[in-house]
Structure 1
Amino acid sequence: MENEPEGAQMEEHLAEMEEKLIKGTFKVMEDHIQENLPESLQESSPLLQEAWQEVRCRIQRCSVSTSLEVQNPEESIWARALRQFLGILQSFLSGCWDVLTWLWEKAAACLQAVCGAVEALWEVLTDFCSFVGQLLCRSLIQV
């Protein structure tokens, strides 16, 4: 029973630590990307803000909020704290993986769009070259 106040206090500290970890990591990521982002992309801020909002939502969804329920009465508060901390790390890893998967899907979609545009341009160029070749052949036959 004397561990109850310590347990509640530990739970509060772990919840604060989890929130700081998630917010701090996101802030570092955002700052790093903003510093290394070309100015041409910074000008398209509405689209960029939408993407950042999606990343924020995905990161916030990964938040754990498991309680420090006592599964074993002999388990010490430190063992429970360690279990909770490992849960936070697992949740954080899972959230990062979800964000990376989402970014990968977006990058693949962009790459597919660029490939489609290049293929369309190539088709137009080949059609144009074919047309010019036919005109040259006709003019040579007429001469």
Structure 2
Amino acid sequence: EVARSQGIDPARLVFMPRLPHPQYLARYRHADLFLDTHPYNAHTTASDALWAGCPVLTAPGATFAARVAGSLNHHLGLDGMNVADDAAFVATAIGLGNDPAALAAVRGRLADARHTSGLCDMAGFASDFAALLRDLSNR
């Protein structure tokens, strides 16, 4: 009823059951864009979406809890997906929804960033972390 009262066809809302992590991540392939919440932004779910190749649109706020998704975008070189306010959020979401080429370009930049960003370099992280632990154990 809440959706209908806001002009949203409830049939467009899909609530999915919990799945094992690989299947959960695979769901993001069916989404064009992850619309982040405000003022408390996504944290792990934004990371999951980005890892799965789904761009995240967010309006970072003033607190840590409101800046995680924006920080992830920043470290992936997707600062254009961090908007200043609600009006820019709506305009950007509609713009990307109406411009498949622009959305494809964002998705392409995300795909490229996943191969070059330290944020997605699990082997590099593991190596650095192991070196840190060795250094600490030698002290």
Q: Shared topology, TM-score over 0.5?
A: no
Choose between structure 1 and 2: higher helix proportion. 1
**Max Rg structure:** 1
TM-score by length of 2: 0.31
